[in-house]
Structure 1
Amino acid sequence: MRKQSGQSLVVGLIFLPVIVLFLLYLYNVSQQNLHKTRLQNTSDAAVLSGSQFLARELNFKAYTNRAMIANHVAIGQYVGLSSWFNFAVETFDNIEDVARFIPGVGAYFTQAEQYIDSINDTVLQPGLEVAVTLTNAVNTGLSKSQSIMSYASSAAMVDSLNGIVKLNDADAELDIISATTLMNTIFNDWRDYQGGFNRTDNTGRYEEFFKVVTNSRDQFLVNRSHDWGFPFSFTWPWCTGYYKTRQAGGTDLINHGERDKETWTSMDTLSIHYKRWKRFRCRKREARIGWGGSHAGEDNDTRRYSSRSLYGQSRRINRSASNRAYARESAMNDAYSGIQQFYSVKKIDQSNDAPPVTIVVSKSIDALQTSKSLGIGTTKENETRNVDINIEEGMDVPRDQFSSAAKARIYYYRATDLWPNTRFEYGNLYNPYWQTSLQDIENSERTYLLGAVFGLDLAGM
């Protein structure tokens, strides 16, 4: 029995190196997996945070486009009010021309007419012109802010990427290959996706913006035409028993092509229509009572626009009074510079995705706490070749670093439950529904990115 004592110690000594090797192997693998996971989380957090700046850029442009459209419509409102005040003053002036001959009241009408004229000329019209000027200045600022945002958001994105990487892992950094992917996104894909447009555009984006402005007009601008009721209107079967008081007016935005700025033009008229016998026929006649107009932008008064569809069909309803509207028409041409540059998606197609953002984050393998960094089994490598325990896991990336790629999707989504039906809205810069999410990277793209990293490492970059 004594001859068998100590055999387990021999066996233990034989397997001890294997156990040590196994434990060190597990330690190295766990460290590499831990740092790989941390690096992937870092790259995911960085790309998701950085892409938010580009999504915010699109949402900012959508908000400012909506603001500019609202301001254009507001300028139309000012022009419409200017026209209506001119019309009201002219109507009172014409009434005063008759009332002045009425004993006892003529003098009061004359004084009232002078007072109203003075208020309109010195307060109302100048005030409305100032309002047009200020609103136009706001649009100028909004237009320029879109261009500034285009550059600022790209710079902020790059700064955010670096900052998020360092906050999550002080030893990691954006790989040099990220400079290539980000430059391609910012200067190629992103600029090809959206850009600035003005009246010289022939792709349809300006026409689309122009239609949004005109379609945003309220009823006061589109058509303020109506017939006055009894006793101002009366219809009798006989020819001489018919008269009708009709008021017409509207405000329209006119496009003059690529060279000249647009014009907000407005007209208001009031006439009494009656019938009388003439040459053995009952003919309809118009007695004009009041008229007025106003315009801002390109210097074209109401005589330049003869279409009956304009001004709430005023030229069809009150033809004679419409021909006199220019006689009391305010011109606020310099106050309005027309539709200024705005940003829009260049190609409207059935897609809700903007160009994605892809980055590669790398980290030196020396930052890992492995058996090599601890000096275990490597202090006297020449003397321990027979029992080499420098067994760090082989990497499929460069020998001195490991890398992780991440990709963010920038997309447009508007919840369908906000619509009264099943219509679907594609990506645009009129509604701020741009958002981001992580996106899977295809194997071919991942292979290309990590292969590029390896190539740059071999080149010493």
Structure 2
Amino acid sequence: MVSQIQPQKGYTIVLFLAFIVAVLLAGFSLYDNGIVAAERIRMQNTADATAYSTMNVLSRDMNFIAYTNRSMVANQVAIGQMVGLSSWAHMADQVVQNIDTLAKLSYAFPPVGLPLNQITRVMSKVSKVARNFMDKGAGVVIKATDVLIGIISRGQSAFQGVTAEMAKATYTGVSEANDKDIKAGFAGSSLAVDTLAKSWAQEVDININANTSRGSSNNRRLKRFKEFAGIVRDSRDPFSSNRSRFWLNWVGVSIIGYEAKVSIQKKGGSDFMEVKSRSKKLQWQWTAMDTVSLWQHLEWWAWNGHHKWTGEILPMGWGAGHALNKNSLSQYSKYFNYANYKKQKQKSFYDKGQQTLFQNKWLHWGHEGSWKNNISSTIAAKDDGNNNLTSINGLRAFGDLKKNDKKDTGPSMVVMLTKPANTMRLQKTIDKENSQYNRNKLMTIEEKGSIAKDTIYGLSKAETYFSRPRNLWKRKDGYREYGNLYNPFWQTRLIDSNFLERSLASAIQY
């Protein structure tokens, strides 16, 4: 017998209402959770953008210091070039004058002497005009370049104050541009930027020459100035660093048991030297010398063995030029003392194992450079010892890292932003803003607040770091380059906050 299913009768509205209530409660909850999740993502993006943008201002400042340092180095080298050109012009003029003097001996044979002397007389006049023109032109260029170096130095210092204001404006501007309801955090933008400024001050220092005396040999600034001067020396072009050449290589005769050769040796270069000023402050200034001499090499055998002699026999030309600080005319501005000074300095550097800084460019001016032509250089010291083209101020204030640590990272900053719940479109906010939208207390599941302390937080951290691209500007020596303020390769990146920073943020939230 087949039983028939009996249809059920009754009301489903009760079950339907219960289902609808559950759906509404879930909907209200999901709505708030979705809004909060979206706001948290937006908050984190804003915190990241604020930290990155603010730190990027500092990275640009460090690159600005590097650019201006390089500019001051380049302009110092330009002064050295002008001093070298003046010295070379004096040497060339003296060579011509000596040729003119020797040509007068040819008057003994008029058919040759008369035309020869007319030629040398014209050459003599032209060389004097060229020498005087070079001296005046070099003086003007050197003075203008020295003024430019001062402007760059002052601009570098002034930019530090601008950077602080730019960082503060960036901090506030970026956060507000992303969300006008976001607040700068529990500490405010001023404290955050001030903290960053203190961090920057611990890493970077503006070295001022007036604060550095020669007596403080272990002073950090003194070392930085010597490093800067070393970079200037190592940045010299070949003409400035070494003008030593053989105008005539060794030629002569060789007979059994006897050999005689002669050569014409041109010696010269420009140096950026450290001197003691009258006020006992450090000064660096440019000086150059060029000499030409005839050398002889003799070699012979005698009853007592083999003998040889090489030496300068005839000075042919000499000249020198300087750009000295008017308050620094001291014993080291005198040529004889300077030659000895160079010897002592070179020996000191060698003994300390620090010779690598100037290893190939240190001696071209001193006793291994122009002074190797001893007779010519002695005359140059007498004739052109006072050929000061113009007074200069030497090294100016410049920015550099305080520490010698081999690292690539610079200052960092932590950004913590906040946003109150009443600025978000939560159900609770809608209830307050819309009087016609009244939910029953049964539907108000977030009555005590759906966000802790009615505020959401965003935490981010950024730092500046140094990275020289190896594929674009690879070093010729292949060495790894650490962070410095002579090459503008400072960049910005986001990094993870540490445990202490996260703990502090959590403590503030709860």
Q: TM-score with structure 2 length normalisation? A: 0.79
Question: Could you give the per-residue CA deviations for residues 374-400 of structure 1, whole angstroms, max 9, x where no partner exists?
Answer: 21899799995566434476434x33x
Instruction: Show structure 1 runs of 5+ residues with no match.
Output: 455-461
The residue matched to 2:123 in structure 1 has which SS?
helix
Question: Could you give the per-residue CA deviations for residues 370-425 of structure 1, whole angstroms, max 9, x where no partner exists?
Answer: 111121899799995566434476434x33x3221221121111234535686422
Percent of matched pairs sharing the same residue: 25
Q: 1:428 aligns with which of 476, 479, 484?
A: 484
- When residues 377 and 10 of structure 1 are mapped into structure 2, their CA distance, relative to the original with a 3 A threshold, is farther
Q: 1:373 aligns with which of 429, 434, 445?
A: 429
- Residue 183 (structure 1) shift: 1.0
Question: CA–CA distance in 1 between the matches of 2:433 and 2:28?
Answer: 10
Is the contact between residue 312 and residue 374 of structure 2 (CA under 8 Å) also seen in structure 1? no
Is the contact between residue 164 and residue 193 of structure 2 (CA under 8 Å) also seen in structure 1? no
**What's the counterpart of residue 180 of structure 1?**
191
Q: Structure 1 stretch 166-175 or stretch 194-203: which is displaced more?
A: 194-203
1:306 aligns with 2:351: no
- When residues 360 and 273 of structure 1 are mapped into structure 2, their CA distance, relative to the original with a 3 A threshold, is same
The residue matched to 1:264 in structure 2 has which SS?
strand
The residue matched to 2:339 in structure 1 has which SS?
coil
Instruction: Show structure 2 runs of 5+ residues with no match.
Output: 1-5, 107-112, 214-218, 344-362
**What's the counterpart of residue 372 of structure 2?**
317
- When residues 431 and 260 of structure 1 are mapped into structure 2, their CA distance, relative to the original with a 3 A threshold, is closer
- When residues 339 and 233 of structure 1 are mapped into structure 2, their CA distance, relative to the original with a 3 A threshold, is farther
- When residues 154 and 285 of structure 1 are mapped into structure 2, their CA distance, relative to the original with a 3 A threshold, is closer
- Residue 26 (structure 1) shift: 0.8
Q: 1:411 aligns with which of 453, 465, 482?
A: 465
The residue matched to 2:429 in structure 1 has which SS?
coil
Q: 1:67 aligns with which of 71, 75, 80?
A: 71
**What's the counterpart of residue 294 of structure 2?**
272
The residue matched to 2:283 in structure 1 has which SS?
coil
Q: 1:358 aligns with which of 411, 414, 421?
A: 414
- When residues 113 and 136 of structure 1 are mapped into structure 2, their CA distance, relative to the original with a 3 A threshold, is same
**What's the counterpart of residue 216 of structure 2?**
none
- Residue 427 (structure 1) shift: 0.8
**What's the counterpart of residue 120 of structure 1?**
131
Question: CA–CA distance in 1 between the matches of 2:391 and 2:496?
Answer: 52
Question: CA–CA distance in 2 between the matches of 1:114 and 1:20?
Answer: 106
Is the contact between residue 381 and residue 388 of structure 1 (CA under 8 Å) also seen in structure 2? no
Is the contact between residue 377 and residue 390 of structure 1 (CA under 8 Å) also seen in structure 2? no
**What's the counterpart of residue 357 of structure 2?**
none
- When residues 13 and 229 of structure 1 are mapped into structure 2, their CA distance, relative to the original with a 3 A threshold, is same
Question: CA–CA distance in 2 between the matches of 1:234 and 1:125?
Answer: 38
1:344 aligns with 2:400: yes
Question: Could you give the per-residue CA deviations for residues 344-366 of structure 1, whole angstroms, max 9, x where no partner exists?
Answer: 11112122111112222222211
- When residues 11 and 240 of structure 1 are mapped into structure 2, their CA distance, relative to the original with a 3 A threshold, is closer
Question: CA–CA distance in 2 between the matches of 1:72 and 1:148?
Answer: 21
Is the contact between residue 416 and residue 423 of structure 1 (CA under 8 Å) also seen in structure 2? no
Q: 2:120 aligns with which of 101, 104, 109?
A: 109
Is the contact between residue 421 and residue 451 of structure 2 (CA under 8 Å) also seen in structure 1? no
1:18 aligns with 2:22: yes
Question: CA–CA distance in 1 between the matches of 2:284 and 2:74?
Answer: 16
The AA in structure 2 aligned to 1:224 is R
Is the contact between residue 194 and residue 346 of structure 1 (CA under 8 Å) also seen in structure 2? yes
- When residues 443 and 297 of structure 1 are mapped into structure 2, their CA distance, relative to the original with a 3 A threshold, is same
- Residue 227 (structure 1) shift: 2.2
- Residue 11 (structure 1) shift: 1.5
- Residue 208 (structure 1) shift: 1.7
1:165 aligns with 2:175: yes
- Residue 58 (structure 1) shift: 0.8
Q: Structure 1 stretch 252-261 or stretch 426-435: which is displaced more?
A: 252-261
Is the contact between residue 371 and residue 377 of structure 1 (CA under 8 Å) also seen in structure 2? no
- Residue 119 (structure 1) shift: 3.3
1:153 aligns with 2:208: no
The AA in structure 2 aligned to 1:403 is Y
Question: CA–CA distance in 2 between the matches of 1:266 and 1:385?
Answer: 93
Is the contact between residue 363 and residue 403 of structure 1 (CA under 8 Å) also seen in structure 2? yes
Question: Could you give the per-residue CA deviations for residues 303-349 of structure 1, whole angstroms, max 9, x where no partner exists?
Answer: 44114645162455311111111203563364421111111111121
- Residue 172 (structure 1) shift: 1.4
How do 1:186-265 and structure 2 match up within 5 A? 186=197, 188-199=198-209, 200=212, 202-203=219-220, 204-229=223-248, 233-237=251-255, 241-256=260-275, 259-265=281-287
- When residues 387 and 339 of structure 1 are mapped into structure 2, their CA distance, relative to the original with a 3 A threshold, is closer
